[in-house]
Chain A
Amino acid sequence: MAGYLIKRILQMMGVLWVVSVVVFVMMSFTGDPTFMMVPLDSTEEEIAQARALLGLDKPFIVQYGIFLGNVLKGDFGRSFVFRQPAMRLIIERMPATMEMVLVAMAIAVVLAIPLGVFAGAYPQRPASRGIMVGSLLGISLPSFWVGMMLIFVLAVRFHLLPSSGRGPTEVFLGMKLSILTADGWRHIILPAVTLSFASLAILLRITRAGMMEVMKQDFIKFARAKGATFGSVLFKHALKNTLIPVVTIFGLQLGDLIAFATITETIFAWPGMGKLLIDSIYMTDRPVIVVYLMFVAFIFVVINFTVDVVYTVIDPRIKLR
């Protein structure tokens, strides 16, 4: 186990290093951010001075070397726009994104698993066909458009739910969370539902596909023959044996949700780290973009690791190597 952990941590460092190189190289194509920083009427000298101050006058490889050296010391650089440590900006906004992603994931799982089990166990029923067509529609929808339609109908037309912001937050373990206040819940519903659509459809389809394969197998007939109730056959025997692909997709979807949160946060003016990324892209705030991507890469590596550990819990035959 210790050997396995060390191996995974080394792999993670490797991935993060590759990400930092790729991101740094790509960012050098974005043009000179100095012009975003200085007043419009600056002289050539002032621009050159600002460039030197930001360290952008040095050769690319030196810039990268300085960045890497600072990262190893725990300093991820400062935002050009906010003049604050980029890492702190992201960490501050992370709880907002995470609570939205988790609520969206919860909605997706709670609906997808039972519907998928049903559609897989009774593939010929009209209701199952309806579920499948609905889920295909869910995959085909542009999620930002769904969000806009929800805003238009529920917020603009009928004034049922707020269309932007987080509402009041409560501090818990040093994080500001909306889900601890009733009004915060009213604010989180629309973005979370919007975000959950695609994942709901995909989880449902993978659950159904797994169920259809498992239901044909002998141990299901045997469980039925020994007199187990149908509900217990479906959820205990069958579902348990379809969980491996479901958990894999769950992990991938969690990553996708963090990526798509950038769009949902933009629509709903949700002050999370995704909106920070989009704003930083508009303002060529390089340090924030670089740190955001490395931070998200770190989250993905952690998700992948967790998924691998969960495999061994679901199926004890799988060993971590």
Chain B
Amino acid sequence: MQAIRSVIENFRASEMFHNYRRNASAVAGSGILAFFLFVVVFGPSLVAQNPYDIASLDLLDSYKPPAWMAGGDPRYLLGTDGQGRDILAGIIYGCRISLFIGLSGMFCSSVLGTLLGLLAGYYGGRLDSIIMRIADIQLSFPSMLIALFLMSAFKTGIDKILIALTAVGWVIYARTVRGSTLSEKQKEYVQAAVVAGLPNRKIILRHVLPNVLTPLIVVATIQVGSFILIEASLSFLGVGVPVTKPSLGLLIKNGFDVLFSGLWWTSVFPGAFIMLLVFGINLFGDFLRDELNPRLK
């Protein structure tokens, strides 16, 4: 208990916390993220309908406008879609799927990329040139195109999206980590570990790894946002999540089909939520970038 309290005290007294409180966009960004955390954790218990339980849907309620408009139903705050699904409930469940994909995609790419970067930087030689050559070729293609191409081969599925996102996301970690590993390798503490006879595996994981992680924090934060956008685009094109697990992007696609009939609420609200979510992530990422970049200090 005492230990936890002192950690909190230390954090409250730290420069980072001081800067955070003075930075309006950092506070706004973390506020938005806290809101989404709340939505993702408690949202499903706050809405009456489980949008993917067919028994709870009523076709008579289809295409109801938002509650405050003429013809709106107070049970459906943001209106309903063609199957009588509550848009708000769809958004809440969609946020979970979008965030899950963004976070786990980031996790998989960072683990793979960091590992490859460490190996390339530490061992050098042939392994290094193979990994970096692949990275170079891949970097000359937009990640959206690579992901689209992979998904066109896989068709739909959350697991397949994660594979596609990992395949496009690892490069940036590998390059960053390789660069820092090269410079860490020259430092005395690594050479001391080598002289002390530690096995390479231990040197890499215990000594080099902790010292190359800081620059990755910003990359990882921003990547969650960009992955959410890529996933939304893929789902919009019909090669993303399966229809049984609609993310925010798939909700927008469903809304697009009826947009020309003037049923705007089916696509406006899911899109606004994606925008807010990614905006929050980017605001916070911007703060972290300024905070963790030693050149700006």
Contact = CB atoms under 8 A, between A and B. Distances in A.
Whether both chains belong to one complex is answered with yes
A297 interface: yes
The SS class assigned to the A binding surface is: helix
B275 interface: yes
A143 B271 CA distance: 10
A136 B286 contact: yes
A81 to B, nearest CB: 15
Contacts of B153: 26-27, 29-30
B252 interface: yes
A278 B232 CA distance: 16
Contacts of A141: 275, 278
A35 B232 CA distance: 30
B283 A259 contact: no
A140 B282 contact: yes
A260 B144 CA distance: 7
B138 to A, nearest CB: 10
Give the contact-size bracket for chain A: 35 or more
Interface in B259-296: 259-260, 262, 264, 267-268, 271, 274-275, 278-279, 281-283, 286
A136 B283 contact: yes
B30 interface: no
Interface in A30-69: 30
B233 A144 contact: yes
Nearest to A145: B271
B150 A297 contact: no
Given A140-B279, A148-B271, A156-B260, A259 B225 contact: no
B20 interface: no
Interface stretch (B73-81, B196-204, B235-243): B235-243
B232 A29 contact: no
Contact of A255 (B142, B260, B268, B283): B142
Interface centre among B229, B232, B282 (most CB of A within 10 A): B229
A142 B268 contact: no
Interface centre among A18, A151, A252, A259 (most CB of B within 10 A): A259
Contacts of A282: 238
A99 interface: no
The SS class assigned to the B binding surface is: helix
Contact of A15 (B140, B238, B262): B140
B229 A142 contact: yes
B154 interface: yes
A262 interface: yes
A293 B259 CA distance: 31
Contact of B145 (A26, A136, A259): A259
Interface centre among A152, A163, A266, A293 (most CB of B within 10 A): A152
Contacts of B154: 29
Nearest to A144: B236
Contact of A281 (B140, B239, B268, B274): B239
Contacts of A163: 260
A23 interface: yes
Contacts of B275: 137, 140-142, 145
Nearest to B239: A281
Interface residues of B, number: 41
A37 to B, nearest CB: 18
A29 B164 CA distance: 14
A23 B283 contact: no
A278 B149 contact: no
B236 to A, nearest CB: 5
B25 interface: yes
A301 interface: yes
Interface in B10-63: 25
A145 B274 contact: yes
Interface string A115-154: 0000000000000000001001101111111001101100
B257 to A, nearest CB: 11
Given A15-B140, A144-B252, A156-B259, A149 B150 contact: no
Given A148-B252, A256-B142, A301-B140, A263 B233 contact: yes
Interface in B139-153: 140-142, 144-145, 148-150, 152-153
B121 interface: no
B237 A263 contact: yes
A189 interface: no
Given A140-B278, A281-B239, A300-B140, A259 B259 contact: no
A18 B137 contact: yes
B249 interface: yes
A253 to B, nearest CB: 9
B141 A297 contact: yes
Contacts of B278: 139-142
Contacts of A278: 237
A259 B155 CA distance: 18
B107 interface: no
23 contacts: A26-B149, A30-B153, A140-B278, A142-B271, A142-B275, A144-B232, A144-B256, A148-B259, A149-B268, A149-B271, A151-B260, A156-B259, A255-B141, A255-B142, A258-B142, A258-B145, A262-B237, A263-B237, A267-B256, A281-B148, A281-B239, A289-B152, A293-B145
Given A29-B153, A304-B140, 12 more contacts: A140-B229, A144-B232, A144-B236, A144-B256, A145-B232, A145-B252, A252-B142, A255-B140, A259-B148, A260-B144, A260-B233, A282-B238
Interface of A: 15, 18, 23, 26-27, 29-30, 133, 136-137, 139-145, 148-149, 151-152, 156, 163, 252, 255-256, 258-260, 262-263, 266-267, 277-278, 281-282, 289, 293, 296-297, 300-301, 304
Shortest Cβ-Cβ A-B pairs, 3 listed: A145-B271, A259-B145, A259-B142
